[in-house]
A and B are shown apart, each in its own frame.
Chain A
Amino acid sequence: MSSIQKVGREIYLMERLAQGTSALHCLHPRAKIVVTFCYLVAVVSFPRTEVLGLVSFFLYPAILIPVSETPWKPLFRRLLPALPFVALGGISNLLFDRTTLFFLWGVPVTSGMQACLSIIEKAGLSVMAVLLLAATTPLGELSREAKGMKFPGVLVDLVVLTCRYLGLLWEEGVTMYTAYLLRAPGEKGIRMRDAGPFLGNLLLRSISRAERVYRAMVCRGFAGEFGYCNSTPLKPGDLLFISAVPGVFTFFRLVNFPLLLGGIFV
């Protein structure tokens, strides 16, 4: 129960973080979307056994998280859902790819070990980049940009509405769940034979709620589509961010910076 309530509290965490006023928050959403996309492509384009080259890309979250004043803990907590499937891919490399590449202090380093590490690095970096985008850009601004970039209006409106109703229906679900557990003490969850009526009830309540919400929206002038203000033009700072940061990514992608740095000392 407590874990469910905890998730409920965290639903709008990203939206709360996105209300900040740091330099990163003030950048144009389009600039942040473009840079995040470049970052993701650069990170996942590394060969499957590359470990060292990826280390340079830790600079991006390491610099931007404090600049945007985003707390570290919730971001790291959100890394967890991404890990199970990624771990499966990583561990499979350990088992199936045992080609010895070199020996490190007498320990054989296999291609599978490198691939496993590389997958974990890539997972951490890519999830951090997306979370940073979400934690510094309100969903409303992302939606406006999506409409500006000619995404289908129905889908954009759906994303906004779904996000808005998430908390509402979450509360509805938690209330029903609490009521169920109070009547069935000792149960760890909903019994499977009760799952049909339970979820069916939640679904019917959701539909009733949707109808009430629709009527309220019509009263406030809703005519089938949300209106958005026109997107503001990119400022010089945004242009600098768009051109300089992907340039750095390209440099780190082409030049193995850690190897270069290590070569100076060894």
Chain B
Amino acid sequence: MHMADALLSPAVGVSMCAVSAGAVVYAAAKIKKEELDEKKIPVMGVMGAFVFAAQMINFTIPATGSSGHIGGGILLAAVLGGGPAFLTITAVLIIQCLLFADGGLLALGCNVFNMGLIPCLLVYPLLFKPLMGRSFGVRRLTAPSILGVVLGLQLGAFAVVVETLASGITALPFATFLAFMQPIHLAIGLVEGIVTAAVLHFVFAVRPELLESAAAGTKIPAVPMKKVLLILGVLTLVTAGGLSLYASGYPDGLEWSVEAVTGSSELEARGVIHSAAAFLQKTTALLPDYDFPQEVGRSAVPGTSAAGLVGGALTFGVAISCGLVISAMKKKAKNKAA
């Protein structure tokens, strides 16, 4: 479910980075304010490494011939508490991005939101903890674990669909993309939920105090959800507002009003200043409309295509030649030195 930079527009990427950064700063500040047990930092670090190791170890799914691995969000939240688990998953995602190229740097905000914030700061306190109740027990662990993982993955997959479509990079219709993503993640979530429940059963049987202390919040008190939801609500509104204005292919409210009055969504500008401003805007616009700028159809400038093909091949050739020449020069210099 890791999103790549290639599927995001800068507006969505940067906005989601801002949302996730806000949640990280809030969780970190809250943990610091609550005077986090200093022992917890190394434990969080090792647990992050555990998630890595656990994700690499596949288990076979009966009767399907396929294999799966755990995601770790709900599992970490059950052992560490929501806030520390969120920071741990964030650290894991940063390392996956930098050292394994799994998920892009600009897409980090989206990935932290989809795989960290949703399970640890939304599903864990709003579903897992209330379902668990105050008294722990092996039987009571099963339903919250499975439901928590399934809901976390469903919401995460939905967020992926919304972020990808808001970026306007793919032509997949919303309903088709949703129909593709949600059932797959429902199946993955069920399997992952069963395994998460089994792991928590085992941990509870051997060291029950680990889960009880995390749930009671004796060492790391839970982040008050009212504030989290308020901040998330405001951030979502700001982001959604910004994104819809930026990325929607449909006319926005202003364009709709203009169209109703004038019969066209664009107002014609006249005069030298308007022409100069339009030229300046055209040449400096980093994100022009996503439409192909040329006329659609058979007559669409074959000369330009040929020039483009030749130019593209030449530029690519220049890039590769630069690399080869620099490599050769470096090798020569090394041989001389030896």
Bound CA–CA A20/B9 (angstroms): 34
Contact assessment for B41 and A161 in the assembled complex, using a CB-CB cutoff below 8 Å: yes
Bound CA–CA A163/B67 (angstroms): 26
Q: Select A266's contact among B62, B300, B310, beta carbons within 8 Å.
A: B310
Bound CA–CA A200/B322 (angstroms): 52
> With A196-B199, A202-B54 as given contacts, are A51 and B312 in contact (CB-CB < 8 Å)?
yes
> With A4-B56, A62-B319, A130-B101 as given contacts, are A162 and B92 in contact (CB-CB < 8 Å)?
yes
Query: Chain A CB within 10 Å — which of B95, B104, B171, B298 has the most?
Result: B171
List which A217-266 residues lie within 8 A (CB) of chain B. 217, 222-224, 253-254, 256-263, 265-266
Chain A residues whose C-beta falls within 8 Å of the C-beta of B70 in the assembled complex: 199
> With A86-B6, A192-B61, A262-B307 as given contacts, are A7 and B106 in contact (CB-CB < 8 Å)?
no
Query: Chain B CB within 10 Å — which of A14, A165, A170 has the most?
Result: A165
Contact assessment for B307 and A187 in the assembled complex, using a CB-CB cutoff below 8 Å: no
Contact assessment for A86 and B43 in the assembled complex, using a CB-CB cutoff below 8 Å: no
Contact assessment for A162 and B48 in the assembled complex, using a CB-CB cutoff below 8 Å: yes
Contact assessment for B310 and A123 in the assembled complex, using a CB-CB cutoff below 8 Å: no
Chain A residues whose C-beta falls within 8 Å of the C-beta of B301 in the assembled complex: 102
Contact assessment for A65 and B323 in the assembled complex, using a CB-CB cutoff below 8 Å: yes
A69 adjacent to chain B (CB < 8 Å): yes
A26 adjacent to chain B (CB < 8 Å): no
Chain A: CB-nearest residue to B93:
A159
Chain B: CB-nearest residue to A15:
B99
Bound CA–CA A4/B315 (angstroms): 39
Contact assessment for A169 and B52 in the assembled complex, using a CB-CB cutoff below 8 Å: yes
Contact assessment for A154 and B32 in the assembled complex, using a CB-CB cutoff below 8 Å: yes
Q: Select B4's contact among A85, A104, A210, A262, beta carbons within 8 Å.
A: A85
List which B288-321 residues lie within 8 A (CB) of chain A. 288-292, 294, 296-298, 300-312, 314-316, 318-320
**How many chain A residues have a CB neighbour from B under 8 Å?**
127
A65 to nearest B CB, angstroms?
6
Stretch at the interface among B122-130, B201-209, B233-241: B201-209
Bound CA–CA A92/B172 (angstroms): 6
Contact assessment for A196 and B315 in the assembled complex, using a CB-CB cutoff below 8 Å: no
List which B91-136 residues lie within 8 A (CB) of chain A. 91-92, 94-95, 97-106
Contact assessment for B323 and A163 in the assembled complex, using a CB-CB cutoff below 8 Å: no
Contact assessment for B91 and A155 in the assembled complex, using a CB-CB cutoff below 8 Å: yes
Bound CA–CA A168/B53 (angstroms): 10
Contact assessment for B6 and A101 in the assembled complex, using a CB-CB cutoff below 8 Å: no
Chain A: CB-nearest residue to B197:
A196
A253 to nearest B CB, angstroms?
7
Bound CA–CA A63/B75 (angstroms): 44
A36 to nearest B CB, angstroms?
7
A217 to nearest B CB, angstroms?
6
List which B58-89 residues lie within 8 A (CB) of chain A. 58-62, 67, 70, 75, 79, 87-88
Q: Select B314's contact among A85, A204, A262, beta carbons within 8 Å.
A: A262
B185 to nearest A CB, angstroms?
13
> With A96-B172, A213-B42 as given contacts, are A85 and B296 in contact (CB-CB < 8 Å)?
no
Contact assessment for B67 and A82 in the assembled complex, using a CB-CB cutoff below 8 Å: no
A35 adjacent to chain B (CB < 8 Å): no
A99 adjacent to chain B (CB < 8 Å): yes
Stretch at the interface among B21-29, B148-156, B255-263: B21-29
Q: Select B105's contact among A40, A92, A112, beta carbons within 8 Å.
A: A40
Q: Select A173's contact among B36, B56, B319, beta carbons within 8 Å.
A: B56
Chain A: CB-nearest residue to B8:
A44
B90 adjacent to chain A (CB < 8 Å): yes
B45 adjacent to chain A (CB < 8 Å): yes
B327 adjacent to chain A (CB < 8 Å): yes
Chain A: CB-nearest residue to B13:
A44
Q: Select B102's contact among A52, A81, A162, A201, beta carbons within 8 Å.
A: A81
Q: Select B6's contact among A56, A67, A126, A153, beta carbons within 8 Å.
A: A126
Query: Chain B CB within 10 Å — which of A44, A81, A211, A263 has the most?
Result: A44
Chain B residues whose C-beta falls within 8 Å of the C-beta of A45 in the assembled complex: 9-10, 286-287
Chain A residues whose C-beta falls within 8 Å of the C-beta of B5 in the assembled complex: 40, 43-44, 122-123, 126-127
Query: Chain B CB within 10 Å — which of A13, A111, A196 has the most?
Result: A196
Q: Select B311's contact among A36, A43, A82, A263, beta carbons within 8 Å.
A: A263
Contact assessment for B306 and A262 in the assembled complex, using a CB-CB cutoff below 8 Å: yes
Bound CA–CA A191/B61 (angstroms): 7
Contact assessment for B320 and A62 in the assembled complex, using a CB-CB cutoff below 8 Å: yes
Contact assessment for A78 and B98 in the assembled complex, using a CB-CB cutoff below 8 Å: no
Bound CA–CA A134/B283 (angstroms): 34
18 A–B pairs (Cβ distance < 8 Å), ordered by A: A44-B6, A49-B290, A58-B320, A63-B323, A81-B2, A100-B298, A103-B302, A119-B170, A120-B6, A126-B6, A154-B41, A155-B24, A160-B45, A161-B48, A192-B59, A217-B42, A257-B311, A259-B307
Partner-A contacts on B (CB < 8 A): 1-10, 13, 24-25, 28-29, 31-32, 36, 38-39, 41-50, 52-54, 56-62, 67, 70, 75, 79, 87-88, 90-92, 94-95, 97-106, 164, 168-173, 176-177, 191, 194-195, 197-203, 206-207, 210, 283-284, 286-292, 294, 296-298, 300-312, 314-316, 318-320, 322-324, 326-327, 330
Closest 9 CB pairs of A and B: A196-B198, A262-B311, A161-B45, A200-B202, A152-B28, A258-B311, A162-B48, A210-B46, A262-B307
